[in-house]
Structure 1
Amino acid sequence: MDLYAVAGFLAAVLPLVATPGASLTLLIQRVTTSGRREGLPVALGTATGLYVHATLAALGLSALVMSSGQAFTAVRLAGAAYLLTLGISTWRTASPRATARRALGRAPRARSSAYTQALLGNVLNPKAASIYLTLAPQFINPHRSPIRQILLLATAHTALVSLWLLIWTLLLGRATRAAASPRFKAVLSRITATVLVALALRTAVT
């Protein structure tokens, strides 16, 4: 696989990366409530999810799921249910009092880590799987190992997504320091929760 193919793939996925989704929404919620240190596990969880999709596509398992109407529906609804649960949980912990407790370090630990949330949010997203089933094959050389090429594209994709999330982490970190009141963070968490629920509904019906 040459660099032109990798560059073409990145150009094709760039609009998808720049479109707000579950990973960016989770990043906003985590960074604004717990600080910039939460950006790294979100990026790592998202990257792991992309590698999972790439590996399954290379092994042909994702194609089997996408071709089966019932299996695809099950994955889609599982993803929608997870996003909905995450949105409701975010809303419930978005009160100014809870936000203030987190700022003082007295809040209970989250039930799942930022890494796990980002990983599940990506793995349970059938649209992420479709990238490696419909888009990636267009940039693969049929005379070379498809598995190695898909994993190379996944590595480039992961680097692009990680850079995008890192930029947002830095911007959000500065914005959070500028508006660090518990009430502001609570309002932002509720907006995030609403977006997560909206994403869940969109995933369920599309």
Structure 2
Amino acid sequence: MVAGFLVAIFPLIATPGASLALLTQNIAPHGPRRAIPVIAGTVTGIYTHALFAILGLSAAVMHSSQAFFVVRIAGALYLLFLGIWTWRTPRPSPSGSGPPRPAYRQALLSNVLNPKAASIYLTLVPQFVDPHQALSPQIAVLATAHALLITAWLVGWTAILVRAGRTLQSTTWAVAIRRAAAAVLVYLGIRTLAA
């Protein structure tokens, strides 16, 4: 059950998205400590979707075209706002100085407002649960496996980004990375709007 679910969701995790953009944007100027709130926000988002699925809220949203439309538009607008904010934000202070960015909140909202993330718990999860057993523990197990896999993926990317640390902290690279992250977020927002 769990292994099959992980195989099914890995391509979705491996596709660059908002979590990886936020990770890169936070690690490049500030170092690996800033990976923690991004990963924590992403994992909290996964558990939020799992909870919504358990409570039936995700199903209600996905089966109501108006509710799904509102969630999709809210998610798209948030990604657009985040991308524009990232593009316009001045170069961050060197590692360890300046106020921390709200990386946890950004990662959480990016995940919770992403209809694709919600659809995992409506389209994929039902294929990997036994309808004759209690659903809540099964969904919790799958959500935990999902959280562990995405954590490992983001930790791996953190290691790659840290290895390139000095290069990434140069002014030219920091600006390029911030703008690339902003472009990814804007693209994801536009793609969500157009879906």
Give your verdict on TM over 0.5: yes
The 3 A distance-change label for structure 1 pair 199 and 170 is: same
Measure the CA separation in 2 of the matches of 1:204 and 1:14.
24
Show the counterpart of 1:76.
72
Tell me which residue corresponds to 1:93: 89
**Uncovered stretches (5+) of structure 1, i.e. residues with no partner:** none
Structure 1 residue aligned with 2:110: 121
Q: CA deviation at 1:107?
A: 4.3
Counting matched residue pairs gives: 195
Runs of 4+ in structure 1 over 4 Å off: 104-109
Cα distance change, pair 105–160 in 1 and its aligned pair in 2 (3 A) = closer
Rounded to whole Å, the distance in 2 between the matches of 1:89 and 1:49 is: 21
Greater shift after overlay, 143-152 or 176-185? 176-185
Query: Are 2:91 and 1:134 equivalent residues in the alignment?
Result: no
Once the 2 structures are TM-superposed, how far is the Cα of residue 104 of structure 1 from its aligned partner? Answer: 6.8
Deviation of 1:176 after TM superposition, in Å, equals: 2.3
Letter in 1 for 2:31: G
Query: How does 1:32-111 map onto structure 2 within 5 Å?
Result: 32-94=28-90, 98-99=91-92, 102-103=93-94, 107=98, 109-110=100-101
| SS of residue in 2 equivalent to 1:142 | coil
1:160 is matched with 149
Q: Find the partner of 1:11 among 7, 14, 19.
A: 7
What SS class does the counterpart of residue 181 from structure 2 fall into?
helix
Partner in structure 1 of residue 178 of structure 2: 189
Deviations 1:6-57 (A, max 9, x none): 1010010011110111111111111112211111111110000000001111
Instruction: Quote the offset at 1:188 in angstroms.
Output: 1.3
Go from structure 1 to structure 2 and tell me whether the alpha carbon gap of 1:158 and 1:34 turns closer, same or farther (over 3 Å shift): same
- Deviation for aligned residue 1:105: 5.8
The CA RMSD over aligned residues, in Å, is: 1.4
Q: Please list the CA deviations of residues 102-160 of structure 1 after superposition, one character each: whole Å capped at 9, or x if unmatched.
A: 117664553xx111100000000011011011101111011110011001100000000
Query: Partner letter of residue 33 of structure 1?
Result: P
Query: Which 5+ residue runs of structure 2 have no aligned equivalent?
Result: none
The structure with the larger Rg is 1
